[in-house]
Amino acid sequence: MEKRYLFTPGPTPVPPPVLAALAEPVLHHRGPDFRLVYASCLERLRSVFRTEREVLLFTSSGTGLLESAVANLVSPGDRVLAVSAGYFGERWAEIARAYGAEVDELSYPWGEAPSAADLASRLDGHRLVLLTHSETSTGVVADVQALAATAREAGALVAVDAVSSLGAVPLETDGWELDIVVSGSQKALMAPPGVAMVALSERAWAGRGSAPRFYFDWERTREAQAQLDAVFTPATSLVVALDAALGLLLEEGLEGAFERHLRLGRACRAGARAMGLELFSPDDDSASVVTAVRAPEGVDAGELVLTLRDRFGITLAPGQGPLKGRVFRIGHIGWFDVFDITTALAAVELALAEAGADVERGVAVTAALDAFERPLTVA
Nearer to a second copy, 304 or 365 (CB): 304
Q: Which is nearer to a second copy, 297 or 310 (CB)?
A: 310
In our burial notation (b when 16+ CB lie closer than 10 A, e otherwise), range 42-76 reads bebbbebbbbebbbbbbbbbbbbbbbbbbbbbbee
Tell the smallest beta-carbon distance from residue 223 to a second copy (Å).
Answer: 14
CB of 22 or CB of 353, closer to a second copy: 22
Least distance to a second copy, CB of residue 47, Å: 24
DSSP-assigned beta bridge partners for residue 134:
141
| CB nearer a second copy, residue 327 or residue 364 | 327
Give min distance, CB of 60 to a second copy, in A: 6
Give the CA angle between residues 247, 21, 32 to the nearest 5°. Answer: 85
Contacts of 81 (CB under 8 A, 6+ apart): 103, 104, 105, 106, 119, 122, 123, 126, 128, 129, 130, 151, 156
Residues of the shown chain interacting with a second copy in the complex, contacts defined by CB under 8 A: 4, 6, 8, 10-14, 19-20, 22-29, 31-33, 59-64, 67, 70-71, 94-95, 98-100, 184, 186, 192-195, 211-217, 232-238, 309-310, 315
What b-and-e string marks burial along 327-363, b requiring 16 or more CB atoms within 10 Å of the CB?
bbbbbbbbbbebebbbbbbbbbbbbbeebebebeeeb
114 touches 282 (CB < 8 A): no
* 212 versus 375: smaller Cβ distance to a second copy: 212
Nearer CB in complex with a second copy: 147/244: 244
Backbone angles phi, psi at 266, to 5 degrees: -60, -45
Least distance in angstroms from the C-beta of 285 to a second copy:
27
Count Cβ atoms below 10 Å from residue 158 Cβ, excluding itself: 24
Q: CB of 76: closest distance to a second copy in angstroms?
A: 8
* Nearest-approach distance from CB 233 to a second copy, in angstroms: 5
